[in-house]
Structure 1
Amino acid sequence: MLLKGRGGGSPCNSHRLTATMSSVARPDPAETPEEQRFLSTEEAAALERELLEDYRFGRQQLVELCGHASAVAVTKVFPLPTLSRKQRTVLVVCGPEQNGAVGLVCARHLRVFEYEPTIFYPTRSLDLLHRDLTTQCEKMDIPFLSYLPTEVQLINDAYGLVVDAVLGPGVQPGEIGGPCTRALATLKLLSIPLVSLDIPSGWDAETGGGDSEDGLRPDVLVSLAAPKRCAGRFSGRHHFVAGRFVPDDVRRKFALRLPGYSGTDCVAAL
């Protein structure tokens, strides 16, 4: 999802964790490009309008669906029974735009799934949805960091993985202020696994640009609704699409020929 609007919107540390990640289904090399269609920025915006205006999805509803599915994707790659206590700790870094709202929901569901999330949310949006989601996390005793250590080893030692929910499509680091930009510079240096929501923060939604100064190289990418065009440049371990809520008619309209969802799963591995 784009879900953008101002005010609205690495290697593992243990062989067991690496083995777990390797067990997740990988794409079939025989698949044709048409079966893994990436959306342009214009197409993604049109798909979002279709959901909001024609199908009458609410903004909060879409954020909740995307955040829940993002948490489920984390459980697919890092299943709780295989993790040590330290590996269950998750740092969720949220920006003030809509991707940050998805990150807050993701953190809440990770807590429900018995992980141990901590949130860093340095530039808080005044939007009512963001405030409500923040209150929900606080009421569930999810801790919020007052600052992010610049010494990356402190983060590597304290957490098992990091969720990047800082920027979404069309949002540039300079648009959201210094604290988030500094956080991205720190995330680039981490050695623990990184999970990016929708697009890696700092990437251009069309071209990727993962080698840019503020770009990240996540281990896991969770595309929301459908993969954006930049996902074609993703070279991490696992790529999921979280779009089971997208109606069949909308999938056909946008030629979304993607892997099927198994059972009751809300995410599918690409």
Structure 2
Amino acid sequence: MTFKTLGAKAAAALDKELMSTGAFSLDQLMELAGLSVSQAVFRVHPTNKGRRILVAVGPGNNGGDGLVAARHLRHYGYQPTIYYPKRPQNELYQRLVKQLEDLDVPFVDDFPTALKTADHVVDAIFGFSFSGQVREPFPAVIDAMAETEIPVTAIDAPSSWSIEAGPPSEGVGSNFHPDVLISLTAPKPLVKHFRGRHFIGGRFVAPAIAKKYDFDVPEYDGLDQVVEVGPNGLKL
């Protein structure tokens, strides 16, 4: 099976559909997305490779997915650290932060310094709704992720990439190529530019909704919330 992609407009419409006719709340979708991310990280970077996971969190839903993933990773035995420079006042995000604080997960203000002691990085800055210019303080963070030799897992899209066209031709993110990508619900068109390990996560979409948006739900094994696919889009 070669998996079809969803553009930014279709992905946004799908999210609205899931929260209307699908009867999911935003909390549920974020929890399921973050759980998928945590399983992908566990798959590519088991604890014996190092437990220190640095999560770069943006101000939107992609960042919320990263916060949820960090909580699950903490319960798996990892030692996550959170870089979260732009915190929205929304109650949902505040609750996600409180859950991490209750687990003694540290929050840091200096990403480059935290990167020096990390074993793996999760890019949860920007998702499929990103467009335009990367604003402060994230240009330096994306540059640091691009230059580090530490493996990076990106959630849904490598931050700064165009959902349709992939990495920018110049400037911030033009040389950012994460090691791992987890596409949430369905891959986005940018995957044709991605050359690392690719996972699909989102084991909750009803067949009727998938049919309406013309994408395929992969066959998940056992308790898995993610499926790894190869460069040709076929399940590994």
Instruction: State TM-score, norm by structure 2.
Output: 0.90
Q: Is the 8 A contact 1:261 1:267 kept in 2?
A: yes
Alignment-derived partner of residue 208 in structure 1: 166
Per the alignment, residue 244 of structure 1 pairs with 203
1:143 aligns with 2:106: yes
Task: From 146, 150, 159, give the equivalent of 1:192.
Answer: 150
* Preserved CA contact (<8 Å) 1:38 1:232: no
Task: Summarize deviations over 1:38-80 as a string: whole Å, max 9, x none.
Answer: 1122221221121011112111111111011100111111122
Indicate which of 242, 245, 254 corresponds to 2:213: 254
| Residue 85 of structure 2: aligned partner | 122
Paired position in structure 1 for 2:128: 169
| 1:180, distance to aligned residue in structure 2 (A) | 2.0
Contact 1:160 1:192 in 2 (8 A): yes
Cα 1:197–1:111, aligned 2, differ >3 Å: closer, same or farther? same
Q: How far 1:142 sits from its partner (Å)?
A: 0.3
Matched, 1:111 2:69: no
The within-5 A match list for 1:91-106 is: 91-106=54-69
Secondary structure in structure 2 of the residue aligned to 1:134:
helix
Q: 1:200, CA displacement in angstroms?
A: 0.4
Distance 2:169 2:177 in 1: 8
Alignment partners' CA distance in 1, 2:143 and 2:151: 15
Match of 1:89 among 32, 52, 63: 52
What displacement does 1:131 show?
0.9
* Aligned counterpart, 1:227: 187
CA distance in 2, matches of 1:228, 1:62: 18
Amino acid at match of 1:206: E
Hey, what's the Cα distance between the residues in 2 that align with 1:170 and 1:185? 20
Query: 1-side partners of 2:106 and 2:64: how far apart?
Result: 16
Quote the Cα distance in structure 2 between the aligned partners of 1:63 and 1:145: 23
Bigger drift between 243-252 and 190-199 goes to 243-252
Query: Match for 2:225: what amino acid?
Result: C
2:45/2:120 contact within 8 Å kept? no
> 1:173·1:181 contact (CA, 8 Å) conserved in 2?
no
Please, which runs of 5 or more residues in structure 1 have no aligned partner?
1-30
Question: Structure 2 unaligned runs (5+)?
Answer: 230-236
Match of 1:263 among 219, 222, 234: 222
CA distance in 2, matches of 1:174, 1:137: 30
Higher alpha-carbon deviation: 243-252 or 199-208: 243-252
Structure 1 residue 173: Cα displacement: 6.8
Structure 1 segments (4+ residues) deviating >4 Å = none
User: Cα–Cα, structure 1 residues 210 and 90, in superposed 2: closer, same or farther, change >3 Å?
Assistant: farther
Does residue 122 of structure 2 align to residue 155 of structure 1? Answer: no
- Tell me how far 1:187 sits from its aligned partner: 1.4
Aligned sequence identity (%): 38
- TM-score scaled by structure 1? 0.79
